[in-house]
Amino acid sequence: MNITVMAINDVLRALRLAKDLVYFLVVDQNLDRLPELKQWYQRNNNNQVLTTRLSDPTRWSRIRSACKNYDPEAPLQRALARIAAEQQRKRTRMIVMLRAAAVVLPLIGVIAYCLSLPVSKHTPVVSEHNSNRSLMLAPVNTRTHHIFMPVGDSVFSIAEVPVVVQKDTMSVGTIAKGGSERVILEIPSGRNCWLKLPDGSRARIRAGSSLAFDIATFARTLEMEGEAFFEVQASERRPFIIHGAAARITVLGTRFNLKADSTSMEVTLISGKLQLSTADTILAVLPGTKTVLHNKLLNVSIVDTTAEPAWIR
């Protein structure tokens, strides 16, 4: 207990001594007014040397000058300046990234759109698959090439058969080859195209329509969905046959307009001969007439055929 009290007294004495020393150094260097400090000063030579050094006016003038020039707000201002500079760098990086994204993302979209197009400028898209449309009369195990009418001039081959495209006309060559190689030709929206077949017959195909035929051993047999204007080369031995979902057209050599979908068929005969066949009837179509088959009902009317259909003019 006595030791604790003595330690506390020593601490208190040291604090009073420190207070007096500060007063002596800063306010008034007169030891007579500070008896406790004076007693400590006179106790030994080391205390006198320390007090003399601390009271050196040159030392305190430098300290007072440094304190006078010290700005307590300066460190805070420097820290705030560094924070502001870092925020500015982050904003700059964000702006650069946004500008880069504004350029790159539309470019990626354009590239993706171009890659998704079914047709390139010089080479058609050719794939082998079954069509979900009504053009499904091919024999089993027949390989089917599904193509879209290409844009621009191009030369390519399908099943070794040469195909030439010039402007809006596709000309199909011929080749002596066994087996069956079937082509489904799709005409894109906004374009009417000509198809020249190996026997010299031609078809002006309306936009959005499709034709199917055997390209390897062209047998003058087509399947059609949509609308087309035909100019068929005459051949008594090899009639030109067009299959639609509702009926079949047999042509001996003629010019006519044909429109067909999944439930109906409409044929306007300009010249020549053709025959319309269904499961129930066979009808010889006359030039200058329009024959409409809808829901198994036939309607024949006389029309003016001196001019070509309006859609191909």
Residues 71-116 have pLDDT tens digits of 666 777 777 888 888 888 888 888 888 888 888 888 887 777 666 6
Q: Which of 17-26, 123-132, 298-307 is predicted least confidently?
A: 123-132
Which residues, in sequence order, are bridge partners of residue 146? 127, 184
φ/ψ of 135, rounded to 5, equals -85, 70
Contacts of 127 (CB under 8 A, 6+ apart): 145, 146, 147
Q: Which of 6-10, 236-240, 301-305 is predicted least confidently?
A: 6-10
Angstrom distance (rounded) from CA 285 to CA 92? 78
In the numeric block, the tokens 């982050």 are attached to 90
The CB density around residue 187, as the number of other CB atoms within 10 Å, is: 23
User: What pLDDT was estimated at residue 179?
Assistant: 63
User: What pLDDT was estimated at residue 292?
Assistant: 92
Q: Is the dihedral of CA 133, 136, 140, 145 positive or negative?
A: negative
Q: Which of 170-179, 180-189, 232-241 is predicted least confidently?
A: 170-179
Is the pLDDT confidence value at 193 over 60? Answer: yes
User: What pLDDT was estimated at residue 253?
Assistant: 80
**Which range among 122-136, 157-171, 288-302 has the greatest average pLDDT?**
288-302
What is the mean pLDDT of the segment spanning 32-51? 75
Taking each helix axis from N to C end, the angle separating 2-26 and 45-54, rounded to the nearest 10 degrees, works out to 40
- Averaged pLDDT score across all residues of the chain: 78
User: What pLDDT was estimated at residue 228?
Assistant: 93
Is the pLDDT confidence value at 257 over 90? Answer: yes
**High-pLDDT (> 70) share of the chain, %:** 76
Q: Which of 25-39, 61-75, 80-94, 245-259 is predicted least confidently?
A: 61-75
Q: What is the pTM of this model?
A: 0.55
